[in-house]
Amino acid sequence: SLPGQVVGLADAERSWMVGFGNLLLATGARDLPLAFPGWIQPGVMGATALSKLLELYDAFAGRRIVIAGSHDLGLETALLARDKGLEIAAVVEVRATAQGNPDLQQQLADAGIPILCNCYPVEASGGIDGLEKVALSDGSQIACDSLVMAVGQVPMIELHDSTGGKRHFDGARGGWIPEGDTTIAFAGLCAGLPDTGFDHAAYRADWMNALGGACSGDTIICQCEEMTLADLTGVQPPRYLDRPEALRKRSLQTLLRDGPANQDQVKRLTRGGMGQCQGRRCRDQVSMILASESGCPVA
């Protein structure tokens, strides 16, 4: 019924459609959140969010931060925060060695910023004013007002998905990568992270497995729908709906006995990823949890 390809646009007052012959998407990448006790505490944020607050909005109120992740994203975030006058208490790294560019590591060493390896957050806690401290897996605690999760970024390909466009999974490029056609092309991080030979998918799995060990069944995974880890692995409906006895006997394992688990099926049964953010905050870690529980690759 349309004369050709169109893109829907909107601002604060109206929405409209514009026809196009060629479309270039440059939607960037979003932070990868990973759950652990206290990760929804005010003061816990992603590296991309911190960068926007510091450089674009000049609206960051924190003074002392801990950064999780020592690949280039984490190291660059630490240097940016230092240049903005913030105190970096530590960079924590789940693996045995720092993962980022050696030149960046040296800059942190010269600045006196410690990188704590074989270490990860097990709890973020605070009070009415936000984050106050982070407990680490080595038994220590660090006083801070901000915890920056710099484990990874995810290419923003939702607009491409809405067209039914093709994509493929590439762990070295940050996950699902869009494939253009004769009329739609991609630029910047939405086309994939720079391929430096680093396996982002394996790195994220190491972090998720470590942080997941600190989670209990009541740890929130999807904030919008208040879906817990137990709700997800139990494939249970939202807590604002009734849970008949037959549903309480269901779990991801019972679904797996019937065949490969379908992510869309799990979404419909649990409403995970169907809240206000449409899965942008939980979709990727839900995929990783389901893959781990199912014993299959995240792709």
For the segment 84-113, what is each residue's pLDDT rounded down to a tens digit?
A: 999 999 999 999 999 999 999 999 999 999
Give the closest residue to 199 by CA, choosing from 173, 166, 180.
173
C-alpha angle 155/108/41, rounded to 5°? 55
Task: Check residue 185 and give left, alpha or beta (phi > 0: left; psi -120 to 50: alpha).
Answer: beta
pTM of the shown model: 0.92
Give 53's DSSP letter: I
Tokens in use for 107?
């800059």
Residues in the chain: 299
Q: Are strands 6-10 and 15-19 parallel, antiparallel or unpaired?
A: antiparallel
Average the pLDDT over 6-16 and give the result. Answer: 95
Tokens in use for 37?
């006790």
Q: What is the largest CA-CA distance in the chain?
A: 64
Tokens in use for 16?
């409209």
Give 54's DSSP letter: I
* pLDDT score for 249: 86
The 10 Å CB-count burial string (b at 16+, else e) for 87-103 is ebbbbbbbbeebbbeee
Q: Are strands 115-116 and 87-92 parallel, antiparallel or unpaired?
A: parallel
Q: Which residues pair with 133 in a beta bridge?
A: 125, 143
Whether the pLDDT of residue 69 is over 90: the answer is yes
Whether the pLDDT of residue 181 is over 90: the answer is no
Please name the residues in contact with 61: beta carbons below 8 A apart, sequence gap of 6 or more.
none
* pLDDT score for 132: 97
* pLDDT score for 173: 96
Half-sphere exposure of 6 (CA within 13 A, CB side): 10
Q: Which residues pair with 64 in a beta bridge?
A: 87
Secondary structure class of 170 (helix, strand, coil): strand
Q: Quick one: how far is CA 17 from the chain centroid?
A: 31
Average the pLDDT over 238-267 and give the result. Answer: 86
Tokens in use for 200?
């982002």
* pLDDT score for 247: 83
- What is the rounded distance in angstroms from the CA atom of residue 266 to the CA atom of residue 204? 22
Whose structure tokens read 């005010």?
Answer: 42
Whose structure tokens read 């004013």?
Answer: 129
Whose structure tokens read 């904030």?
Answer: 223
- What is the rounded distance in angstroms from the CA atom of residue 65 to the CA atom of residue 78? 9
Average the pLDDT over 67-93 and give the result. Answer: 97
- Average the pLDDT over each of 24-28, 135-139, 157-161 and give the range with the smallest value: 157-161
- What is the rounded distance in angstroms from the CA atom of residue 4 to the CA atom of residue 254? 46
